[in-house]
Amino acid sequence: MKIQERTGAGAGRSAAPAQPSVGDRLPSPPRERKPALAALAVLLILVGALGATMLVLRAGDRVEVVKVTADIQAGDSVGNHVTSVMVAADDSINYVEWTKVDALKKLKAKSTIYADTVVVGQMFGAKAEVPEGKASVGLALKEGQYYTGIKGGDTVTAYRVGTRGSSGSDSSDKGSSSSSSSGNGAIANASVESVKGESDATVSTGTKSITLLVDEADAAALASASAAGEVAVVRVPAK
């Protein structure tokens, strides 16, 4: 009796539908390959690598150029006030290469060049050039007629400080100078081109030779006042 029941139970189980095994899955469709996108990705990688390489090479492309170590006044040579520095090469900048420093020493500064400036060729010429409408006037000033620390590049006003104000002849002189740029016997907005101290040779005098760049119309009045020893130079804010 028990044997039959087991047989019947086994028969009932075999009649149930068989479940598919876990490993029996339908095959997936093959992936679509896109060779154009793959080629583009490779090209972008190569371009990026090439750009990075060019930047590295460019950063290492340096040139030895001239830098001045002291103020160079207009009309002066750099002399021995030079040193060499390394800068990034740039064809758009006319650097003076260190190999040309000897030739540079034969040229003159067109305007004041300040210490620690990396110079370019446009700053120099065979002789100092005067801008159109301007004139360079030399002054021999005694101590008290100029301020302490006067140097090339300063903006100044030159005043006529004569003591003959009551004389008729002096009145005419002042009348001629009153046509200057400030209208009161003063020549405004002049620029100091160069300063050379004669006191280097004669300490007791304190005299300095100063060259001012002024409007051409003011040159005669300033030269006349300078010849009479009646000029005082005052520093004013640059405009």
pLDDT bracket for residue 130 (50, 70, 90): confident
The ranges assigned to domains in the chain are 62-125, 134-235
Model pLDDT for residues 154-191, shown as the tens digit of each residue: 889 999 886 554 344 444 444 444 444 544 568 888 88
What would the mean pLDDT of 60-87 be, rounded to a whole number?
A: 88
- The gap from C-alpha 147 to its chain's centroid, in whole angstroms, comes to 29
Partners of 197 in beta bridges: 208
**In the predicted structure, residue 6 carries a pLDDT above the cut 60:** no
Predicted confidence at residue 65, as pLDDT, reads 94
Residue 169: is it exposed, middle or buried by C-beta count within 10 angstroms (0-12/13-18/19+)? Answer: exposed
What would the mean pLDDT of 66-77 be, rounded to a whole number?
A: 87
**In the predicted structure, residue 116 carries a pLDDT above the cut 90:** yes
Look at the block and give the residue holding tokens 């002789």: 127
| Beta-strand runs (E) in the chain | 62-68, 82-88, 108-109, 124-125, 134-141, 155-160, 186-197, 208-215, 231-235
Task: For the full predicted model, state whether its pTM sits above 0.85.
Answer: no
**In the predicted structure, residue 234 carries a pLDDT above the cut 70:** yes
Shortest CA distance to 124 belongs to which of 135, 138, 113? 113
CATH architecture of 62-125: Alpha-Beta Complex (3.90)
How many C-beta atoms surround the C-beta of residue 184 within 10 A?
Answer: 12
What's the CA gap between 231 and 211, in Å, rounded?
A: 13
Picking from 53-57, 128-132, 198-202, which range would have the lowest pLDDT averaged per residue?
Answer: 198-202
